[in-house]
Amino acid sequence: MSSSVTVAINRVRGFSAWITDDAPKNRAHASAVKFYSSARNISRNVITMAGVAIVATLIAVAVCAPLLAPHDPLTQDLLQRLLPPGSESHLLGTDELGRDILSRLIHGARITLYIVALVAIIAPTAGLLIGGLAGYAGGFLDVVLMRITDVFLAFPRLVLALAFVAALGPGIENAVLAIAITAWPPYARLARAETLTIRSSDFISAIKLQGASHTRILFGHIIPLCLPSVLVRTTLDMAGIILTAAGLGFLGLGARPPTPEWGAMISSGRAFIFDHWWVAAMPGLAILLVSLGFNLMGDGLRDALDPRASK
């Protein structure tokens, strides 16, 4: 065996020992060990990996949509309208205007991922900040913020989103804003509950005795400890976000025609559901599959990141 191969093997062994060390040397080392342990637990769960594969496929399809789509999603051909799946060069058939359904689904993945990504950034961040501040400050501020949260929670999410979109006007950006406004209250409740538990911990008292400011305690210690729970909740909420976005598109309040959005595709295909089922069924199956993928991935993250779960 050559010396270079021996050196490579020794480096791999050294890294393996370092990443699985039961006594981390510093904070960064501890974070790396914890991340590796969680990733290993997730990789052992077949159902979770199926969800990860579905979500990864969605991302890959959205990124490579222009390369993967066999046709232009906006090109109309009335001579090719309502072709069944497998006809000629249209694998999933065509819609009422002769547009290729597969191409529209592929480009629609971009819109779905765009909405999910923006809402996943805006809503959890707002909820984490509001809930963390309410739980840490307590008193009058806690009461005011939680009563505002209760007002938002009193309305069904889709109904409230419809009200905001109706006020703001149709469009993808307004749909994202409306969904984010209606999605933050559960994160605020979760963050507040976590903060109430953490703020009474001994290490928080020790940090206060060292002279740390309230801002440093909140943003440097409490909020980071709330992140795992919020991350899991965010992943589990992705299916609901997708369904809400599809519902807005179905009602004509999301992406504007002829943008290939999955909810709008179902809406346009409902008139042909009995004779030409594939026009509405294909985007419906896409929504079902992606929602299932996020749910499976969220369940796996919950099991991996839950400190009370048995390892």
Among the listed residues 140, 128, 157, 91, the one whose alpha carbon sits nearest the alpha carbon of residue 233: 128
Among the listed residues 2, 203, 237, the one whose alpha carbon sits nearest the alpha carbon of residue 116: 237
Is the confidence at residue 200, as pLDDT, over 50? yes
Is the confidence at residue 86, as pLDDT, over 70? yes
- Please state the rounded mean pLDDT for residues 164-174: 86
Cβ contact 161:179 at 8 Å: yes
Give the pair of three-digit tokens for residue 225: 């400890």
Cβ neighbourhood burial of 99 (10 Å; 0-12, 13-18, 19+)? buried
- Please state the rounded mean pLDDT for residues 224-230: 87
Give the pair of three-digit tokens for residue 223: 């909020």
Among the listed residues 190, 191, 167, the one whose alpha carbon sits nearest the alpha carbon of residue 178: 167
Q: How far is CA 151 from CA 67, 135, 145, 186, 216, in A?
A: 46, 18, 10, 12, 30
Is the confidence at residue 310, as pLDDT, over 90? no
- Please state the rounded mean pLDDT for residues 43-63: 89
What's the whole-number average pLDDT of the chain?
86
pTM reported for the whole predicted model: 0.83
Look up the CATH number of domain 50-305: 1.10.3720.10
Is the confidence at residue 189, as pLDDT, over 90? yes
Q: Return phi, psi of residue 94, to 5°.
A: -130, 165
Tens-place pLDDT, residues 15-32:
677 677 777 777 777 777
Break the chain into its structural domains and give their ranges.
50-305
pLDDT reported for residue 311: 44
Tens-place pLDDT, residues 254-263:
888 788 999 9
